[in-house]
Amino acid sequence: MSTYSRKTKLKADCPMERALNVMTGKWKLALLCELNRRNARLVDFEKKNPEASKRTLAQQLGELVKDGIVQKKDFQVYPKKVEYSLTSLGKELIPVIQKMGEFGEKL
Amino acid sequence: MSTYSRKTKLKADCPMERALNVMTGKWKLALLCELNRRNARLVDFEKKNPEASKRTLAQQLGELVKDGIVQKKDFQVYPKKVEYSLTSLGKELIPVIQKMGEFGEKL
DNA sequence: CAGGATCCAGTGCGATACTG
DNA sequence: CAGTATCGCACTGGATCCTG
């Protein structure tokens, strides 16, 4: 059984595909659900998702940031402390994935 | 520039991820949108999406069938004629992707 | 015309190790 | 701690060919 999750980059020339691209990634829904509950740090995600590699979590968070869904707050301390949270755009994504969840119940 | 669209298979242990898996694939949204408009045959999809290979279109249709989103009607003639259409479950998916589309407008 | 079977390039992501 | 670099493997999906 495979755990390969992402399929392929969509054509991205239509809004639905752009939206789908933003959410598609093995840990992105998990990250978004957690961020919907509370702001969190990379370590927090590592603890919550021990199956995921730190590299992937950091990368997928980075993509969410780049897409404007998530924002970082760098506390500029040592040892480093960086907190992630949903942007206002990111908050608008929550009802969308909830609707997906309702549909997913039927699968 | 790449057009790789699908990311990786999600963990599929939660409804949202199951739903996302069903939609994720380079041509699936295109297939679903077309099927929402009219029933269609493989050739029709080939004409509508000349960028896609027949192999991929057939394969992604097959996945949608396996997931219960799309159904086939085989006319048992020669040359072959097979028509694809949305199942009732598939029709329930339409409003979900429309909601995604609304969100995608903001990206 | 539907749809396999092959072959192959590009990508997702896990493991691991390293830095400031 | 956060973040990056490297390596390696599994998967997506394009091209092409073949059959009934």
Q: Where in chain B are the domains?
A: 15-106
Q: Is the peptide bond before B79 cis (omega within 30 degrees of 0)?
A: yes
End-to-end CA gap in chain B: 20
pLDDT tens digits for B44-85? 999 999 999 999 999 999 999 999 999 999 999 999 999 999
CB-based contact A61:A31 (threshold 8 Å): yes
pLDDT tens digits for A42-95? 999 999 999 999 999 999 999 999 999 999 999 999 999 999 999 999 999 999
Tell me what pLDDT residue A76 has. Answer: 96
- Alpha helical stretches, state H, B25-106: 28-37, 42-48, 54-66, 88-104
CB contact under 8 A, A68 and B102: no
Of B7, B25, B104, the CB nearest to A16: B104
Looking at the complex, report in whole angstroms how far the Cα of residue A37 sits from the nearest Cα belonging to chain B: 16
Q: A15-106: which CATH topology?
A: Arc Repressor Mutant, subunit A (1.10.10)
For chain B, the average pLDDT equals 93
- Distance in Å from D11's C1' to B77's CA comes to 35
How far is A14 from A19, CA to CA, in rounded Å? 9
Residue of B nearest to A25 (CA): B7
Provide φ and ψ at A53, rounded to 5°: -80, 150
| Residue A40 Cβ under 7 A from any strand D atom | no
How far is A81 from A74, CA to CA, in rounded Å? 6
